Amino acid sequence: DAGVIQSPRHEVTEMGQEVTLRCKPISGHDYLFWYRQTMMRGLELLIYFNNNVPIDDSGMPEDRFSAKMPNASFSTLKIQPSEPRDSAVYFCASSRTGLTKNIQYFGAGTRLSVL
Amino acid sequence: RKEVEQDPGPFNVPEGATVAFNCTYSNSASQSFFWYRQDCRKEPKLLMSVYSSGNEDGRFTAQLNRASQYISLLIRDSKLSDSATYLCVVNKMDSSYKLIFGSGTRLLVRP
């Protein structure tokens, strides 16, 4: 089975531009998570969805960040406008209700650089 | 105090050595505990879940001490391929699906 698929793998953009990160969870998984990883702050949960509905977005840094999940196989994380401090690796992960210990499986990540 | 605390290392050990990492967590109500492994510039991958009774997977042994709120990972007979960052992970009290990741302990296994 394919794992969690993220695109693009790398994104370089200029400050002020809109950035859209994409994620396809593992088929059959009903939980989807967006994380951000930086050297300073480590791996932080931004938002998570259950059955396409946002459950907790308390980790979203500010209004410039938004996330959607229009269907069970696709989610986006959008940053508008982007700022240099948004530079990080963004991971998407998925899980399934009933999965042993709620294990999460991660995508390869999107490395974002905002110049 | 951080919710999950780990010694960042690095732990620099020769092949064949036994190495142990500890991790402490602040939320006594946490129910799910994991060790994830992250290679340089890669995604975190589950190494093993941690059960109350302790569990072993080959060269890896995980232990949970609820009274002291710490988790340990023991790696026996270290291999070069064990070089990675090991992340201690605990769930948040308000949701079994919200995971808190420690900042990781870096392991370097030298020939």
Q: How far, in Å, CA of A68 to CA of A77, rounded?
A: 7
- Contact: B42, A108; criterion CB under 8 Å: yes
Q: Cα B79 from chain centroid?
A: 17
Higher pLDDT, B83 or B99: B83
Surface-to-core class of residue B107, CB atoms within 10 Å of its CB (0-12 exposed, 13-18 middle, 19+ buried): buried
Q: Which tokens sit at B68?
A: 């002291």
The pLDDT confidence band at residue A100, using thresholds 50, 70 and 90, is low
Question: pLDDT tens-digit profile of B5-54?
Answer: 999 989 999 999 999 999 999 988 888 899 999 999 999 999 999 988 88
Q: Any chain B CB within 8 A of the CB of A25? A: no
Dihedral of CA B2/B3/B8/B11: which sign? positive
CA atoms within 13 A on the CB side of A97: 4
Residues from chain A that touch B99, judged by Cβ atoms under 8 A, are 45, 104
Question: In this structure, which amino acid lies at residue B102?
Answer: G
Q: How far, in Å, CA of A105 to CA of B84, rounded?
A: 18
List Cβ neighbours of A41 (8 Å cut-off, separation of 6 or more).
none
- Contact: A42, B45; criterion CB under 8 Å: no
High-pLDDT (> 70) share of chain A, %:
97
Q: Any chain B CB within 8 A of the CB of A109? A: yes
Q: Tell me the CA distances in angstroms from B96 to A35, B21, B48, B99, one per residue in order.
A: 16, 24, 17, 7
Residues from chain B that touch A60, judged by Cβ atoms under 8 A, are none
- Contact: B91, A102; criterion CB under 8 Å: yes
The full DSSP string for B3-36 is SEEE----EEEETT--EEEEEEES-TT---EEEE
Q: How far, in Å, CA of A80 to CA of B75, rounded?
A: 44
Nearest-by-CA chain A residue for B104: A42
Q: Any chain A CB within 8 A of the CB of B88? A: no
Q: Any chain B CB within 8 A of the CB of A48? A: yes
Q: Which tokens sit at A99?
A: 């999965």
